[in-house]
Amino acid sequence: MSAKVNDDLLTERRKCEFNVEELTNYLDGGAQATQNRRKLEDKVLSTKGLFDEVPEEYLSHKEKYENAVRKAVVYYKAMKEAEDPNQTEQERANATYRSLLHAAVFKDNSPFSLHLAMFIPAILGQADEEQKKYWMKRASKMEIIGTYAQTELGHGTFIRGLETTATYDPKTEEFVLHSPTLTAYKWWPGSLAHTANYCVVMAHLYINGKSCGIQPFIVQFRDEETHQPLPGIKLGEIGAKLGFNTVNNGFLGFDQHRIPRNRMLMKNAQVLKDGTFKRSPNSKLTYGTMVYVRVVIVNGMANQLARAVTIAVRYSAVRRQSELKPDAGEPQILDYVTQQHKLFIGIASSHAFTLTAKWLTRMYQKVTADLEKGNLDELPELHAIACCLKAVTTTDTSVLVERSRTSCGGHGYMLSSNLPQIYGLVTAACTYEGENTVLMLQTARSLVKALEQAQSGKRLSPTMSYLSEKVSSRLKWDNSIDGIVKGFRRVAYGKVESAMRSMRKYVRSGLGPEDAWNMSSVQLVAASEYTSISEADIRQLQDTYEDLLGKIRPNAVGLVDAFDFRDQILNSTLGAYDGRVYERLMEEALKSPLNAEPVNQSFHKYLKPFMQGKL
Ligand SMILES: CC/C=C\C/C=C\C/C=C\C/C=C\C/C=C\C/C=C/C(=O)SCCNC(=O)CCNC(=O)[C@H](O)C(C)(C)COP(=O)(O)OP(=O)(O)OC[C@H]1O[C@@H](n2cnc3c(N)ncnc32)[C@H](O)[C@@H]1OP(=O)(O)O
Ligand SMILES: Cc1cc2nc3c(=O)[nH]c(=O)nc-3n(C[C@H](O)[C@H](O)[C@H](O)COP(=O)(O)OP(=O)(O)OC[C@H]3O[C@@H](n4cnc5c(N)ncnc54)[C@H](O)[C@@H]3O)c2cc1C
């Protein structure tokens, strides 16, 4: 018999003014997609051995990893078996697009995540047809487990500064991989330490002493039978982190490690047997895997943020605290407008990121199809947009997840709420796949170029077209959506123009272009991410805003119910559908090993002699 649902949550659900299932269907891409997702979740989550006997937080660092590998093999097998052979690729993609199934199994991400998130995309995007056929067969069947090894101890952002070398030896038709310094060691790749046995390595190619730029190589680094590191390979784990502690991030050093010529992924650039180098049509095509993952991250942020606000809004409907009016009893904390302000932006942002992710994915698919036909025209715009949206969505999601945590008071600080772990997952994305400041500066680079083109009368790409609108600075905008958008476009234009004026001022003062860029870089980042509107209009918008909060209030629980996260995926004492918060907090607390006995052994060993002055 299912447990009794909290009365306040029942009331909230009765108050809701819209059809929750309809919104769920919309988010999934239709009623059938909702059904497919639920069917997949039912199948996979009914698999034995997927969940923890002891809560992960009470395991050691090593036990956490070993437990995660145990679950990863069960999970991956269950996912494979749950695949419906009659489903189209698109239906399968839709069923997983919104599902955070892995979050029900791994609070801190899977040791296989890089295999699926980067190793396979790198093969698909960087291998020639013959290589793709061979490696995809092995990788898709998990005969091998891979990762993506680009970052080094000494370099993450500056890819052209990577020190790992790949020197072509025409006599043996091999590449010699070498880490000339400690800072050249690959450092950070997920699964690298003890899980994977292959990786795509980004290394500096040299032929006859000449630099041929950064190229991708598929490298085996562990024996497939014994899992021992191969000769000339130094491997290890980089240590405990804020989060991602079951992702097994590692380090790898090469000592004159030889690989066959056909291990360089040769879709874009090629090395012939005699050492002839055939250059890529665009050297940045090698960076394609990063563009792909940045696109995926935007959708991932939408889902993770939705999970956090679901937990916080349901808890805020159950938690009663303080006194809003004398003798009126303790109100639900969701009735405080400050609480609504903290949480409703998170609901709206998750929807905004979902729609943005869909738009960006379509743009990525179009540009990738064009690249296949040799048309690179829209690659720069895709790069700029992917950089901006990855940076903005990860920054905003980190802020909003942390705000969801602090809006739940002390209970939000409990690991059993799962809000700290969700924060650990999303805040990592501000750094990986391109540190956010660096990516915003990439976008700024495109904005400055676009404004210069606009000022010389050239046509701009659709996403930059606001820079060619001669919008009057005395524009008055109203509270309509159109008016607000016009206002934001006007201010965004002003930010880019101001940054450019600043750079020109520095150049006139005698600085070189690079120093002028650096001196203006704070403004350049603001131009890429930040748009604010002038003081006078904030008051007008503020009234509208507070009015909107009131309109959302009766529907808040319905809006998060529509995300349709089952309890196992929320994995939270505060966010369960039935709202039995206090019973769950106690149930989880009693699982602490410290509660197995009333007096801990440290009393007799340390406390008692200490208090009796015997230590
Ligand atoms: C479970 C997780 C929970 C929540 C998260 C949800 C979803 C996540 C989904 C998947 C992830 C899950 C698991 C994986 C977790 C972690 C994996 C992490 C992997 C990594 O971090 S891999 C390493 C990533 N590293 C980087 O991104 C490095 C960033 N640096 C760069 O990109 C370049 O160095 C930089 C900054 C662009 C500068 O390079 P460079 O100096 O050479 O370029 P310039 O600035 O001079 O520009 C030259 C020219 O080239 C253009 N350009 C640059 N980059 C690109 C590109 N990628 N594509 C196209 N064009 C590019 C640039 O615009 C210039 O053009 P111009 O001269 O102006 O015409
Ligand atoms: C959880 C996690 C997982 C990861 N997984 C992988 C993986 O699987 N594979 C992989 O290859 N890498 C991985 N990484 C590494 C990640 O890609 C790098 O950390 C990232 O690219 C940043 O590089 P860095 O750490 O060397 O920082 P740096 O590049 O040294 O940056 C440090 C600071 O300097 C600033 N800075 C640097 N350059 C500039 C500039 N030009 N202008 C202005 N400011 C600048 C940055 O903004 C930042 O604040 C992972 C990282 C994390 C945190």
Which pLDDT does position 533 carry in this prediction?
44
- Compute the distance from residue 116 Cα to the ligand 1 centre, in Å: 18
| Residue 66 appears among annotated catalytic residues | no
Mean pLDDT of 489-497: 90
| Distance of alpha carbon 40 from alpha carbon 93, whole angstroms | 12
| Distance of alpha carbon 615 from alpha carbon 613, whole angstroms | 6
Which pLDDT does position 531 carry in this prediction?
41
% of the chain surpassing 70 pLDDT: 95
Phi and psi at residue 14, to the nearest 5°: -75, -30
Q: Is 113 in the pocket of ligand 1 (CB under 6 A)?
A: yes
- Compute the distance from residue 442 Cα to the ligand 1 centre, in Å: 9
- Mean of the per-residue pLDDT values of the chain: 93
Report which of 268, 136, 293 is spatially closest to residue 213, judged by C-alpha positions.
268
Mean pLDDT of 453-478: 79
Which pLDDT does position 522 carry in this prediction?
96
Cβ pair 235, 251 in contact under 8 A: yes
């790749």: which residue's tokens? 189
Among 62-76, 89-103, 199-213, which is the least confidently predicted range?
89-103
| Distance of alpha carbon 477 from alpha carbon 334, whole angstroms | 32
Q: Is 218 in the pocket of ligand 1 (CB under 6 A)?
A: no
Q: Is 216 in the pocket of ligand 1 (CB under 6 A)?
A: no
**What is the dihedral sign for C-alpha 351, 354, 356, 359?**
negative
Q: Taking the CA of residue 591 as centre, how many other CA atoms within 13 Å lie in the half-sphere pointing to its CB? A: 17
Known binding residues for FAD: 151, 190
Cβ pair 253, 263 in contact under 8 A: no
Q: How many CB atoms lie within 10 A of CB 329?
A: 8
What's 140-172 look like in SS3?
HCCCCCEEEECCECCCCCCHHHCCCEEEEECCC
- Compute the distance from residue 254 Cα to the ligand 2 centre, in Å: 21
| Distance of alpha carbon 184 from alpha carbon 13, whole angstroms | 57
- Compute the distance from residue 528 Cα to the ligand 2 centre, in Å: 19
The alpha helices in 435-534, defined as continuous H runs, are 436-455, 481-508, 513-519, 521-529
Angle between helices 481-508 and 521-529 (to 10 degrees): 160
- Compute the distance from residue 81 Cα to the ligand 1 centre, in Å: 35
Which pLDDT does position 482 carry in this prediction?
81
Phi and psi at residue 280, to the nearest 5°: -70, 150
Domains of the chain: 116-280 (2.40.110.10), 437-469+475-531 (no CATH)
Q: Tell me the two tokens of residue 6.
A: 């909290």
Three-state secondary-structure class, residue 320: strand
Report which of 178, 585, 163 is spatially closest to residue 412, judged by C-alpha positions.
585
Phi and psi at residue 54, to the nearest 5°: -105, 135
pLDDT confidence tier of residue 471, bands split at 50, 70 and 90: low
Q: How many CB atoms lie within 10 A of CB 101?
A: 22
Q: Which ligand is nearest to the CA of 282?
A: 1
Q: Is 158 in the pocket of ligand 1 (CB under 6 A)?
A: yes
Cβ neighbors of 227 (< 8 A, separation 6 or more) are 197
pLDDT digits (tens, 9 = 90+) for 398-451: 999 999 999 999 999 999 999 999 999 999 999 999 999 999 999 999 999 999
Catalytic position from the list 433, 469, 497, 529: 433
List beta partners, residue 187: 251
Which pLDDT does position 58 carry in this prediction?
96
Return the amino acid letter for 3.
Answer: A
Q: Tell me the two tokens of residue 524.
A: 């350049």
For a substitution probing ligand 1, which of 147, 433, 569 has the most ligand atoms within 8 Å of its CB? 433
| Distance of alpha carbon 255 from alpha carbon 257, whole angstroms | 5
pLDDT digits (tens, 9 = 90+) for 586-597: 999 999 999 999
pLDDT confidence tier of residue 539, bands split at 50, 70 and 90: low
| Distance of alpha carbon 265 from alpha carbon 192, whole angstroms | 19
> Which residue has a Cα nearest atom 23 of ligand 1?
433
Which pLDDT does position 486 carry in this prediction?
82
Known binding residues: 151, 190
| Distance of alpha carbon 192 from alpha carbon 185, whole angstroms | 12
Q: Which atom of ligand 2 is nearest to the CA of 151?
A: 11
Cβ neighbors of 115 (< 8 A, separation 6 or more) are 139, 142, 145, 146, 147, 191, 196
Q: Which ligand is nearest to the CA of 298?
A: 1
For a substitution probing ligand 1, which of 432, 443, 449 has the most ligand atoms within 8 Å of its CB? 432
ipTM above 0.90, yes or no: yes
Residue 538 has pLDDT above 60, yes or no: no
Task: Provide the b/e sequence for 483-515 (b: ≥16 CB within 10 Å).
Answer: ebebbebbbbbbbbeebbebbeebeeeebeeee
Three-state secondary-structure class, residue 414: coil
Phi and psi at residue 176, to the nearest 5°: -105, 115
Angle at 228 between CA 224 and CA 232, to 5 degrees: 105
Q: Which atom of ligand 2 is nearest to the CA of 191?
A: 8
Phi and psi at residue 577, to the nearest 5°: -60, -35
Q: Is 287 in the pocket of ligand 1 (CB under 6 A)?
A: yes
| Distance of alpha carbon 212 from alpha carbon 205, whole angstroms | 5
- Compute the distance from residue 450 Cα to the ligand 2 centre, in Å: 27
Q: Tell me the two tokens of residue 309.
A: 């606000």
Which pLDDT does position 52 carry in this prediction?
87
Within 6 A (CB) of ligand 2 lie 114, 147-151, 155-157, 188-190, 244, 249, 428, 431-432, 434-435, 437-438, 441
Among 36-50, 96-110, 173-187, 246-260, which is the least confidently predicted range?
96-110
For a substitution probing ligand 2, which of 110, 157, 158 has the most ligand atoms within 8 Å of its CB? 157
